[in-house]
Structure 1
Amino acid sequence: MGMQPLNYKDVEIGTIAINGVQMGVVELGKPTAATAKLRPTLVFIHGFTGNATSWGALLEHLAGQDMHVISLEMLGHGRSSAPEDPTRYSMEHCQQDILAALQALHIAPGAAILLGYSMGGRIALYTALSGYFRALVLESASPGLAIAEEREQRQRSDEALATCIEDYGLEAFVSYWESRPLFASQEKLSIAQRAKLREQRLHNTPRGLANSLRGVGTGIQPALHQRLNEITVPVLLITGQDDPKFCAIAREMATQLPQAQHQIVPNAGHTVHFEQPEAFETLVRNFTNSVQ
């Protein structure tokens, strides 16, 4: 399960073979035998259209502060495999793949903090039910849709979007994706920042993104509302002030998670780590130090 290096921007992305697929991985600040017990491990799961480098300079900053940082790419994204069968992308398979990757990287149960954004937050929440992690950070995440009719409607919507990706191609889809109201706050970013984000989104494949929607979209995933009380580890919920929908979801989740705190970041929307990176980094670093 050796790493296959690829230099993309300033970060080395590799792949590991797990469960019959390849998973893209960035690993920074790997501890030595002498520092293994001193360095906290953070595992990052990106959002839809993202990849292991979606976190910008955050990974390098945290690694430079004596933290062991691992960023994983979900199926259909970045360098990870893009299977033809949409069911291979399911939430259950995501959990199995993440745990297999961490075992391959010699991360013991209870050693790591899991952090997920948006789609990655939904995956992280489900994966945390395994009991493998010491704490959890969820950025702009949800437990899914509680009402069956809403899940069915969302599945139809995701299928239509997946078909459009396949029919019209990646560039057309990314242009549509960037225009969604959910990302309106990103208009405040510089042209260079938006161009960088677009380039990262285009670092994917149409089949991968389409099947990710079909396999692990919000409509198809299990609703987790009734299981939130099973997650007894500390949880940090992060949302942007300009994203009222997910602020409300996080407030509700905080009432059901046994050890949760909710932080709302000013002047940020759905993608807090990109829109307000310094504030996001401070929240993650302080939370990590508090649970060691």
Structure 2
Amino acid sequence: MAPSSATVYGRAVRCVLLHGFAGDPASWDDVAIDGERIALPGHRGGGPLADDWAGNLAAIAARIGRCDAVIGYSLGARVALGLVAGGHAPRGILISVNPGIADAERAARRASDAAWAKLARERGTAAFLAAWEAQPLFATQQRAPADRLAARRARRLALDPEQLARSLETTGLAEMPDYRDQIDSRFTLIAGADDARYVAIARALAAPLEVIADSGHDPLLEQPAPLTAAIDRALGRALGRTPGRAPGR
């Protein structure tokens, strides 16, 4: 059960929450923001994957209906970016987002994703996760509470390896448009202070940035309370209100 929103603005708007790759809606359990938590295609409860980025984005857009803000982490942040860029939502809060790569980089990225997909298919979910989570990008996650890590691992082990592979092949960074020129005042960016690469990506973009202290790539797991506060500030700015002042006053 997700905690009730502990925020001023999280109760004032309709938010949609999108998890990351190999995640699920329960990834948001420790983030006290009210919202509709959507499972992405290829993940538990998210339905089948389409054959390409555009098809998957259209399927998600059809499910979210009207919302005031779409909030996403990693893969979910890229989806949120695509939804706002496509006119399906008015604003987005993007956590640890890579908004796109140049065409010259796509072949190398596609080859990398293909290697990960091959690992998932040939060795199964447990072996895939062991290798995936051992990447330096995720090293700081070992600082998270043991019970939180164990709960996430149990949920991840239930994922289907074929769907993980197809998610990489159809929603990977090489498959989506380069949205960098779409980043503007409709968005707030959030990154963990210890995730130097994604802080640098965010600082190069034309949108406000919130940096979460003592967090790496996944603030949902590593620092959910400061993340909640950062999201609430972003919603307040989007509504043109001052944090701490109740909506409508």
TM-score, reference length from structure 1? 0.75
- Asked if 1:252 corresponds to 2:214, the answer is no
State how many pairs are aligned: 233
- Asked if 1:221 corresponds to 2:183, the answer is no
Match for residue 271 of structure 1 among 203, 218, 221: 218
Offset, 1:239: 0.4
Further displaced range: 192-201 or 43-52: 192-201
- Asked if 1:281 corresponds to 2:247, the answer is no
Q: What residue in structure 1 maps to residue 27 of structure 2?
A: 54
Match for residue 61 of structure 2 among 99, 106, 131: 99
Find the aligned partners of 1:210 and 1:176 in 2 and give their Cα distance.
Answer: 14
Find the aligned partners of 1:173 and 1:79 in 2 and give their Cα distance.
Answer: 21
Offset, 1:164: 1.0
Post-superposition Cα deviations, 1:74-133, rounded to whole Å, max 9, x if no partner, equal: 1110122235xxxx1532123212221123xxx2xxx42011111111111111112232
Q: What residue in structure 2 maps to residue 243 of structure 1?
A: 195
Amino acid in the other structure paired with 2:228: E
Higher strand share: 1
Q: What residue in structure 2 maps to residue 174 of structure 1?
A: 129
Post-superposition Cα deviations, 1:44-95, rounded to whole Å, max 9, x if no partner, equal: 111100111111232xx333xxxxx111111110122235xxxx15321232
1:154-233 counterparts in 2 under 5 A?
A: 154-228=109-183, 231-233=184-186
Find the aligned partners of 1:291 and 1:149 in 2 and give their Cα distance.
Answer: 35
Post-superposition Cα deviations, 1:244-278, rounded to whole Å, max 9, x if no partner, equal: 00000001113xxxxx2101111100001211111
Cα RMSD over matched residues? 1.9
The DSSP-based 3-state class of the residue aligned with 2:216 is coil
Offset, 1:149: 3.1
Post-superposition Cα deviations, 1:140-178, rounded to whole Å, max 9, x if no partner, equal: 0011212x2321011011111101101100011111111
Find the aligned partners of 1:53 and 1:72 in 2 and give their Cα distance.
Answer: 10
Q: What residue in structure 1 maps to residue 246 of structure 2?
A: none
Amino acid in the other structure paired with 1:247: V
- Asked if 1:70 corresponds to 2:36, the answer is yes
1:12-161 counterparts in 2 under 5 A?
A: 39-58=12-31, 61-63=32-34, 69-83=35-49, 88-103=50-65, 107=66, 111-146=67-102, 148-161=103-116
Give the percent of matched residue pairs that are identical in Structure 1 and Structure 2. 29
The DSSP-based 3-state class of the residue aligned with 2:208 is strand
Amino acid in the other structure paired with 2:20: G
8 A Cα contact 2:57 2:82, kept in partner: yes
Find the aligned partners of 1:278 and 1:203 in 2 and give their Cα distance.
Answer: 27
Q: What residue in structure 1 maps to residue 8 of structure 2?
A: none
Q: Give the 3 Å change call, closer, same or farther, for CA 200–150 of structure 1 in structure 2.
A: same
Find the aligned partners of 1:80 and 1:95 in 2 and give their Cα distance.
Answer: 12
Find the aligned partners of 1:247 and 1:114 in 2 and give their Cα distance.
Answer: 20
Superposition misfits of 4+ residues, deviation over 4 angstroms: none
TM-score, reference length from structure 2? 0.87
Post-superposition Cα deviations, 1:15-54, rounded to whole Å, max 9, x if no partner, equal: xxxxxxxxxxxxx89xxxxxxxx84111111110011111
Find the aligned partners of 1:127 and 1:238 in 2 and give their Cα distance.
Answer: 18
8 A Cα contact 1:91 1:123, kept in partner: no
Offset, 1:232: 4.9
The DSSP-based 3-state class of the residue aligned with 2:26 is coil
Q: Give the 3 Å change call, closer, same or farther, for CA 221–138 of structure 1 in structure 2.
A: same
Find the aligned partners of 1:134 and 1:219 in 2 and give their Cα distance.
Answer: 25
